A and B are shown apart, each in its own frame.
Chain A
Amino acid sequence: MTSALLFKEWKKTKWFAIGAFAVGLALLTYIFLKLGRSFRMVGLEHLWDVIVNRDQFLFRDVKYFPLATGFCLALAQFVPEMIQKRIKLSLHLPLSNRKIVFSMLGFGLLALLSIFVLHLIVILTFSVFYFPMEIIESMVYTLLPWYVAGLTAYAFTSWICLEPTWKRRIFNALLMFASLQLCFLSDFPAAYSLVVSAVLLIPLYVLPFGYFSVQRFKVGIQD
C-alpha cells in the first residue's frame, strides 16, 4: 500500500523531478565550463589566490537552485491535491491519516535529497581532481546551508499548500521567509562550519506541521 502511495507521488512529480535534475546538471556544466575557461585564461595560480586569499567561492551560481527546486517540488506535489480538495481521496484510502500524509512528505523529501545528493556528488567528484581536502571541506560547509534551504523551502511550501485557511498560509509564508534567511546569512566560505548541524534541523522541525494542517482541513476549518 505504501508503494502504491509512493507511485502516486511519483506520477505527480516525475517530470518535475527529472526536469529539476536536468536543470541542475546543466547549471553544473555551465559552472564547470566557466571554471575551465578561467583555468585556461588566468591560470591556476590566480584561481588559487582568489580562493585562498580573497575567500571567493567558485560555485556561487548554485546558490538558489536548491531553494527553487524545493519550492517547486512542493507545489508540483501538493497543489494537485488541494485543487478540488482532491486530498479527500487520499485521506479516504484505508490507511491512517498520519501514514498517508507522512508518506507523501517522505516521498518529497527523498526525491529532493536524491537530486541534491547527486548534484553534490558531481560537484565533489569534479573538485577532488583540482582542490585539496581543506578546500573541499570548506566547499561542503558553504554548499550545505543552500541545500538545507531547499529542504526547508519544501517543508514550508508543503505546509502552506496543505493549510486550509489563507490567514494561516500567509503567516506560514512569513515564517518561511524568516527561516530561509537563516540559510543565507553569509556567502563567506565555510561560514556555517560551527552551526551547520543546527541549520540541518530546520526542515526536520517544519516537516510535521503539514500533518497538523491536514488535521485542520479534516475538521472542516476554512476561510
Chain B
Amino acid sequence: MQQAIVECKNLTHYYGKRCIYENLNFEIPQGRILGLLGKNGTGKTTTINILNGYLKPRSGECLMFGESSANLSSETKRKVGLLIEGHVQYSFMNISEIEKFYSAFYPKWRKDAYYELMKLLKIDPKQKISRMSCGQRSQVALGLILAQDPELLILDDFSMGLDPGYRMLFVDYLSEYAKAENKTVFVTSHIIQDMERLIDDCLIMDYGRIVMQKPVTELLESFKRFKFNCTNPEAINEISDIYNPVTIKGNTEVYSLLTKEDLESLMRKNNVMTNEIQEESLSLEEAFIGLTGKY
C-alpha cells in the first residue's frame, strides 16, 4: 500500500440542520487519481472546501501530507495545486503577468509547461484573463497548475462551463501529466464521461451518504444492469443488494453488484416472477445513474 497523501477521517458536516454527510472516510494514496462523483448539492464542493481548509467540518478531520487541512504550512500549500470551481483566477492580469506572479512562489516553477499550453490558445499574451472565454480561462488555470508542478492536484468541477473540445483537451493534458509524473489527483465533476477517461478510483456520493468507493475498473467489472419482465415488481423493493429498480409497462431494470446467477437465485428466494434475465455492462455514467438514481 502506497503512502496516503490525503486522509479524511470521520468527516461530518451540516449546513444548519441539513446533513451533508456523516462519518465520511477516504484516503488518496500517492499516484492515484480519485474522482468524487455526485449530483448537485451532495457535498462535492463542501468536501473540497474542507480539504483546503476553507470550511471547518462539524466533526472529523482531513490530513494532507500528514498535516491538518485546517492549518496548512506554507511548505504543504506549495505541494498542492488548486483549481477552484469555475476556473477562477486573477482576471485583472494577462497571460504573462499571471505567470510571472505565480512563479515567485514556486521554486520548481516550469514556465515551459505553461507556455506550451498557452500556445494552443493562439491569443495575445497581453490579453487580460477577464476578456477570455471560459474554455480559454480553464487552460490558463490548468497551465498554471502544471507549471507549479505540485505533488497533489485538487480540481473542483473542472468541466464546468467547458465545451466538449476544451473538456477533452483538459482531460488529455491532465491525464498524461498525472500518469507520467506520478501525481496524486483529487477531482470532482458532474460530467461523468470525462471522469471515466481520467480517474483510477471513484467515490460516489448521494445525499447524506457515500454509495460506492472503488477503483473504476473494479466497479465496471462488477456493477451490472439487469433487465427482465416481471409480474410482481413490488416484491423487488424488499430485496437488498439491488439498486434503483424501475419497472415501466412490465419491463424491469435493476442494478446490482451480484452476478447474474446470484441475482436469479435471490429473485427465486423472494418469489419475484421473472422471465430470463439479461445482463448488461455499464459505462461509468450508467453505473453512476444506477447507484444514485435518475432523479
Contacts and interface: CB of A to CB of B under 8 A. Distances in A.
Contacts of A80: 90-92
Interface in B84-135: 84, 86, 88-93, 97, 100-102, 104-106
Given A96-B74, A219-B56, A11 B93 contact: yes
Contact of B88 (A1, A4, A8, A86): A86
B97 A11 contact: yes
A96 B70 CA distance: 13
A34 interface: no
B74 A88 contact: no
A94 B84 contact: no
Most buried by A among B52, B93, B105: B105
Given A88-B84, A94-B77, A1 B105 contact: yes
B86 A94 contact: no
B53 interface: yes
B9 interface: no
A8 B101 contact: yes
Contacts of A96: 74
Interface in A75-119: 80, 84-86, 88-89, 91-96
Contacts of B100: 4, 7
A220 B49 contact: yes
B82 interface: yes
A12 interface: yes
Contact of B80 (A91, A92, A95, A218): A92
B78 interface: yes
A3 interface: yes
B97 A84 contact: no
Is chain A's interface secondary structure helix, strand, loop, or mixed overall?
A: helix
B106 A94 contact: yes
A8 B74 CA distance: 19
Interface in A164-209: none
**In which size bucket is the chain A interface?**
20 to 34
A30 B92 CA distance: 33
A75 to B, nearest CB: 14
Contacts of A3: 104
Given A11-B92, A11-B97, A94-B78, A88 B54 contact: yes
B77 A220 contact: no
A13 B133 CA distance: 24
A86 B85 CA distance: 10
B105 A12 contact: no
Contacts of B90: 8, 11, 80, 86, 89
A89 B84 contact: yes
Contacts of B97: 11
Contact of B105 (A93, A218, A219): A93
B55 interface: yes
B261 interface: no
B73 to A, nearest CB: 9
B92 A12 contact: yes
A93 B77 contact: yes
A94 B75 contact: yes
Nearest to A91: B54
Contact of B104 (A4, A88, A92, A220): A4
A57 B92 CA distance: 42
A80 B129 CA distance: 13
A222 to B, nearest CB: 9
A94 B49 CA distance: 17
8 contacts: A4-B101, A80-B92, A86-B90, A89-B89, A93-B105, A94-B78, A219-B70, A220-B49
Q: Which 3 A-B pairs have the closest CB atoms?
A: A220-B55, A4-B104, A94-B78
Given A89-B89, A95-B105, 8 more contacts: A4-B102, A7-B100, A8-B93, A11-B90, A85-B88, A93-B105, A94-B75, A217-B54
